[in-house]
C-alpha cells in the first residue's frame, strides 16, 4: 500500500504552547486554528489545547465545526461575521467576533433590539479592530474612536476588546512593527477593554505587542515565524512530519536523464530513488534541484521535476538503501522551513497544502 502519511504530533503542539507561555508570560493565549489548524486537523488540534484560554478561526464554518465537535472554549471569528445570518449564528453558537468595518457595526445596531428581546440573556463579546498600518482589515484611527463610542451604546454588546494586526513582525529590522504598536497605543489610550496585537512573530520578537492576549498560529505548529531561521532556534518541535517511502530504485549511466522534460542529467553513474509523494499530495511542484529529502538518517538531493505522484532523488552509486525505506519530506529531522526556502515559498503554504490523498495520523505520545 502507498504509505504517504502526515503524522501529527499533538504532544509537540502542547510543547509549543508551553514555549509561547515562556515567551509571553502572563498573557492569555488565543490559539489560531484557521485553515484546518494550518493543515494539522482543526478538531484534533483544538482538542489538545487544554492550556490556552481561547481559539481563533477565520470563518463561521470553522467555528461551527469546533462547536459540533463539543469544543466549549471561547471561539473568536477573526474575520468577523459576513452577514446578518452569520451574526445570528455567532449568537447561536456563542462565538466572539471581530468587528473591523462599518457594515458590521450597522448590522449590530440593526439587530441589537431584536436579539435582546429574543435572547435577553445574551451578551456578545466583540474585538474592535484598528487598522494600524496593514491596510487589510480594521478601522482607521478616527473611525476606530467613533466606532468604539458607537459600539459601547449597542446593548447586546457587553464586552469590547481592542485589537490590531502586525504586518512585518517577522522582520526584526523592519520598523513598521514599532510604528504600528505606537499607533495602537495612541489610538486606544483611555479606552476600556483587553488588548491584542501579537501573532507568532509578535510573540517572539516584539514584547511590546503582547498586551493582554497573544494570537499565535504558526509557532504552535513548530515553525519559526521569523525570517531565515527555523523552529529549533526557539526550542519548538515540529507538529507535522510528512513521510513516504522509497518504492523504486534505478541505476543510471552518465548522460541518462530523469523525469518530465528530462530536466536532470546524471554526470556519473548513480542510483535514482523514486519516492511516493508528489504535488498531488501537496509536495511543492517548484521545489528546486537539491531540495533535501531525509531517508534513514541522511539527506539526499531532489533531482528532476516533481511529478503528481512521485519525486526522484539522487542516492549516489554506493547507496545501500532498499525499496521500502522511509523518506521524510519535512518534519522531524528536516525542518519545513528549509523545504519552503528551496520551493521559494513559506512554511504556511506547505503545511496548509497537504492534500486529502495523504493519510493523517494523530499521535499523543
Ligand atoms: C488576525 C490574525 N491574528 C493572528 C494570526 C496568526 O498568525 P501567525 O500564524 O503568523 O502566528 C493570524 C494569521 O494570519 C491572523 O490573521
Give the residue among 229, 198, 240, 200 at the shortest CA–CA distance from 217.
200
Domain-located, residue 50:
yes
Q: Which portions of the chain are predicted below pLDDT 50? A: none
Q: Are residues 173 and 309 in the same domain?
A: no
Place of cell 495602537: 184
Q: Which atom of ligand 1 is nearest to the CA of 34?
A: 13
**Strand ranges (DSSP E) for the chain?**
5-9, 28-32, 54-57, 75-77, 96-99, 124-129, 157-163, 195-196, 213-214, 240-252, 257-258, 264-265, 270-275, 292-295, 298-303, 311-314, 326-330, 359-363
In the chain, where does DSSP find H-type helix? 10-23, 34-39, 42-48, 60-68, 84-92, 102-118, 141-153, 176-188, 200-205, 336-342, 347-352
Ligand 1 pocket, CB under 6 A: 32, 78, 165, 199-200, 215-219, 225
Q: Establish if 128 belongs to a structural domain.
A: yes
Considering the domain boundaries, does residue 2 fall inside one? no
Cα 93 to ligand 1 centre (Å): 22
Model pLDDT, residue 192: 96
Does residue 98 lie in a domain region?
yes
Catalytic residue IDs? 34, 260
Report yes or no on 61 lying in a domain.
yes
> Which of 227, 249, 274 is a domain's end point?
227
For 124, the domain range is 10-227
Do 174 and 316 fall into the same domain?
no
Q: Which three cell numbers stand for residue 199?
A: 501573532
256 and 197 assigned to the same domain: no
Indicate whether 34 and 98 sit together in one domain: yes
Answer yes or no: do 79 and 177 share one domain: yes
Q: How far away, in angstroms, is 105 Cα from ligand 1 center?
A: 23
Those residues with Cβ within 8 angstroms of residue 109's Cβ, 6 or more apart along the chain or in another chain: 150, 154
CA-to-CA separations, 192 to 100, 131, 165, in angstroms, rounded: 18, 18, 19
Residue 314 lies in a domain: yes
Judgement on whether residues 170 and 41 belong to the same structural domain of the protein: yes
Please state the atom number of ligand 1 nearest to the C-alpha of residue 165.
1
Looking at the structure, do residues 194 and 274 belong to the same domain, yes or no? no
The residue whose CA is least distant from atom 9 of ligand 1 is 217
Instruction: Tell which atom from ligand 1 comes closest to the C-alpha of 58.
Output: 16
Residues 54, 139, single domain; the answer is: yes
Answer yes or no: do 192 and 279 share one domain: no
Domain boundary among 227, 259, 275: 227
**Ligand 1 pocket test, candidate residues 129, 162, 215, most atoms within 8 A of CB:** 215
**In the numeric block, which cell numbers belong to residue 83?**
452577514
Residue 120: inside a domain = yes
Query: From ligand 1's centre to the CA of 3, what distance in Å?
Result: 32
Atom of ligand 1 nearest to the CA of 216: 11
Instruction: Return the C-alpha cell found at 268.
Output: 556519473
Return the C-alpha torsion angle 225, 231, 235, 239, nearest 10. 100
* CATH number of the domain within which 135 lies: 3.20.20.10
Amino acid at each position: 500500500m502507498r504509505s504517504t502519511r502526515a503524522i501529527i504530533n499533538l504532544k509537540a503542539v502542547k510543547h509549543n504552547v508551553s514555549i509561547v507561555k515562556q515567551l509571553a508570560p502572563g498573557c492569555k493565549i488565543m490559539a489560531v486554528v484557521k485553515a484546518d489548524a494550518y493543515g494539522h486537523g482543526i478538531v484534533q488540534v483544538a482538542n489538545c489545547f487544554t492550556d490556552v484560554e481561547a481559539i481563533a478561526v477565520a470563518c463561521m464554518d470553522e467555528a461551527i465545526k469546533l462547536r459540533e465537535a463539543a469544543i466549549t472554549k471561547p471561539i473568536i471569528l477573526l474575520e468577523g461575521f459576513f452577514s446578518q445570518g452569520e451574526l445570528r449564528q455567532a449568537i447561536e453558537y456563542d462565538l466572539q467576533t471581530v468587528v473591523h468595518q462599518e457594515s458590521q457595526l450597522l448590522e449590530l445596531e440593526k439587530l441589537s433590539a431584536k436579539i435582546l428581546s429574543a435572547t435577553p440573556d445574551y451578551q456578545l463579546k466583540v474585538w474592535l479592530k484598528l487598522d494600524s498600518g496593514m491596510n487589510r482589515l480594521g478601522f482607521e484611527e478616527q473611525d476606530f474612536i467613533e466606532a468604539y463610542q458607537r459600539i459601547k451604546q449597542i446593548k447586546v454588546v457587553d464586552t469590547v476588546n481592542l485589537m490590531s494586526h502586525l504586518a512585518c513582525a517577522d522582520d526584526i529590522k523592519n520598523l513598521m512593527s514599532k510604528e504600528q504598536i505606537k499607533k495602537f497605543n495612541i489610538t486606544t489610550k483611555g479606552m476600556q477593554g483587553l488588548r491584542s496585537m501579537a501573532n507568532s512573530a509578535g510573540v517572539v520578537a516584539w514584547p511590546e505587542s503582547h498586551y493582554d492576549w497573544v494570537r499565535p498560529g504558526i509557532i504552535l505548529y513548530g515553525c519559526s515565524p521569523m525570517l531565515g531561521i527555523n523552529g529549533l532556534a526557539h526550542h519548538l518541535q515540529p507538529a507535522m512530519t510528512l513521510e513516504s517511502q522509497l518504492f523504486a530504485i534505478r541505476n543510471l549511466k552518465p548522460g541518462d536523464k530523469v523525469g518530465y522534460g528530462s530536466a536532470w542529467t546524471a554526470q556519473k553513474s548513480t542510483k535514482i530513488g523514486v519516492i511516493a509523494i508528489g504535488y498531488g499530495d501537496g509536495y511543492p511542484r517548484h521545489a528546486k534541484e537539491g531540495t533535501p529529502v531525509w531517508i534513514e538518517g541522511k539527506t539526499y538531493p531532489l533531482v528532476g521535476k516533481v511529478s503528481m505522484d512521485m519525486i526522484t532523488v539522487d542516492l549516489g552509486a554506493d547507496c545501500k538503501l532498499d525499496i521500502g525505506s522511509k523518506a521524510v519530506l519535512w518534519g522531524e529531522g528536516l525542518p519545513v522551513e528549509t523545504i519552503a526556502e528551496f520551493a521559494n515559498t513559506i512554511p504556511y503554504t506547505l503545511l496548509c497544502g497537504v492534500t486529502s490523498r495523504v493519510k493523517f495520523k494523530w499521535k499523543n505520545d
